[in-house]
Amino acid sequence: MAGGQERVLRRRIKSVLSTRKITKAMELIAAAQIPRSLARIAANRPYRLGMQRLVLEAALGDPAGAAKLLAMPEHVDTALVLFLTGDRGLSGPYNNSSLRAGERLVAKLKGEGTKARLFCVGKKAAAYFRYRGLSVEEHFVGFVDRPTFANAQAIASRLVGPYLEGEAQQVLLVSARYLSAGSQVVQVQQLLPLVVPELPVDDGPKVLKGYTEFEPEVKKLLYFLAPHALESEIFSALLEGAASFHTSQQRAMAAATDNADELSQTLTRVMNRARQDSITTEIMEIVGGAEALRLGK
Amino acid sequence: MATLTVEILSPEAALWRGTASALVARSSEGDFTILPQHTETVGDLVSSIVRVDTDEGAVAFAVHTGYFQVGPGDGEGVTLATVLAGVAERTTEIDVARAQVAKDAAEVQLAAASKGDQSDQTAQFTALAALERAELRLRAAAK
């Protein structure tokens, strides 16, 4: 029956429209989160730059000690790799591009004879590695949408221990960096040994010239500074990750909403044609029937 | 004229920035004061109250460990003192009731962690740190 087809189409349109309602709502929520997460990145920036400047100062103040603490060992037996993903999906390529980059990194490390110990932030990374049978040392979940500094400290404290005790020689971070609204790029960043930052000259206060006084002496300071610099870097990565997640989700959900619009439009056209067809058929049947009656008289 | 610019920064926000006549704080080596034209210095801060003296009176912050850096600021004769603290709050914004609750809770935890033969060291340190934070907040708020 032609009327049956119409009913099926009507049901499909309804389901497409209700999905559209959900994607539209998610788009709006993500869009509302973006400015807030960007404001947090901006608020964190002076602290982060200050921390980097401090590391640079300390490194200039004690080149010998810094060389020992900051230099890459000749061979890395074990590396700690921290993955940053979201707790939720439906966010376009955000989670998967980080995970793919991470898997490539692990494979590369293996090729160099380095054992990777995995640490994951976000449910998605945990699920991904569990499915692939890779053991993950620790998961951190439940805060990636709105990370706090205490979260960063908790993560850093788990990484610093093995590093200072010599169990691992390198700490790497795989995360999406927020470059602009249009571009978020997955980067692999070395957290430890500390990377001495190269600050642009015109960015913030001037860098000192290496004749600075230190309190306490620079060796001690550098040793205590490393965990704090790590916390700072992890926190800013968490903030940028959150911003990237919201941006990516907003874009993905906007595309899904557009698709739903297009689909419901196409389905409505098909449905209208089907209805018209069934009406035409009915008229033909009535006319045909009436004609037959007339001829039969 | 020589001036001093002070910045108090935490990871969540820049707490304060302005011109001051002095910065008073405590490092692991002892109390110190930074005046305009102080030499370039980098150091740590222990858990303490950091005071900034300005023309409109003193502004104080409870700083739970951190670092400071003194260097040249923007412009001629300007000294910039930057305080970097993981956790810091302005003394006027401290919630005394909450700090008191936190202090009591930390004391209970410390007692629980130190009890018996198998005293849990990690728990002891955590409780001690919490206690220290709460006490500093109360001291800072009382000032």
Where helices occur in A62-203 by DSSP H, the ranges are: 63-70, 94-111, 123-131, 149-164
Q: How far apart are CA A139 and CA B121, in angstroms?
A: 24
Nearest CB to B40: which of A51, A58, A212? A212
The domain ranges of chain A are 2-23+253-296, 25-250
Interval B76-128: pLDDT, tens: 788 899 999 988 888 888 888 888 888 888 888 888 877 766 667 777 777 88
Give the pLDDT of residue A210. 53
Interchain proximity B40–A213, CB inside 8 Å: yes
A-B Cβ pairs (cutoff 8 Å, strict): 87
Q: How far apart are CA A70 and CA A169, in angstroms?
A: 11
Q: How far apart are CA A13 and CA A186, in angstroms?
A: 38
B129: left (phi over 0), alpha (psi -120 to 50) or beta: alpha
**What's the burial of A118, exposed, middle or buried (CB within 10 Å: 0-12/13-18/19+)?**
buried
Nearest CA in chain B to A210: B40
Interchain proximity B11–A46, CB inside 8 Å: no
Q: How far apart are CA B6 and CA B20, in angstroms?
A: 6
Helix (H, G, I), strand (E, B) or coil at A132: coil
**Which residues in chain A have Cβ-Cβ distances shorter than 8 Å to B86?**
149, 153, 228, 231
Kindly give the confidence (pLDDT) of every residue in chain A, 297 residues in length, as a single tens digit, with 9 standing for 90 and above. Answer: 456 888 899 999 999 999 999 999 999 999 999 999 999 999 999 999 888 888 888 877 777 766 666 667 777 888 899 999 988 888 888 888 889 998 899 889 988 888 889 999 999 888 888 888 888 888 898 888 889 998 999 999 889 888 888 888 889 999 989 988 888 888 888 888 887 766 554 444 455 555 678 877 877 787 788 888 899 999 999 999 999 999 999 999 999 999 999 999 999 999 999 999 999 999 999 999 999 999 887
Please tell me the distance in Å from B8's CA to the nearest CA on chain A: 9
Q: How far apart are CA A107 and CA A171, in angstroms?
A: 16
Interchain proximity B43–A224, CB inside 8 Å: no
- Is the pLDDT at B142 greater than 90? The verdict is no
Interface of B with A (CB under 8 A): 7, 9-14, 27-29, 32, 39-44, 67, 69, 71-74, 80, 82, 84, 86-87
**What's the burial of A251, exposed, middle or buried (CB within 10 Å: 0-12/13-18/19+)?**
buried
Interval B48-73: pLDDT, tens: 889 999 988 889 898 988 999 998 88
Interchain proximity A205–B42, CB inside 8 Å: no
Whether residue A242 contacts residue A37, with contact meaning beta carbons closer than 8 Å, is answered with yes
In this prediction, residue B39 has a pLDDT band, given cuts at 50, 70 and 90, of confident
* CATH architecture observed for domain A25-250: 3-Layer(aba) Sandwich (3.40)
Interchain proximity B82–A208, CB inside 8 Å: no
- ipTM value for the complex: 0.83
DSSP letter at A117?
A: E
**Length of chain B (residues):** 143
What's the fold here for domain A2-23+253-296?
Helix Hairpins (1.10.287)
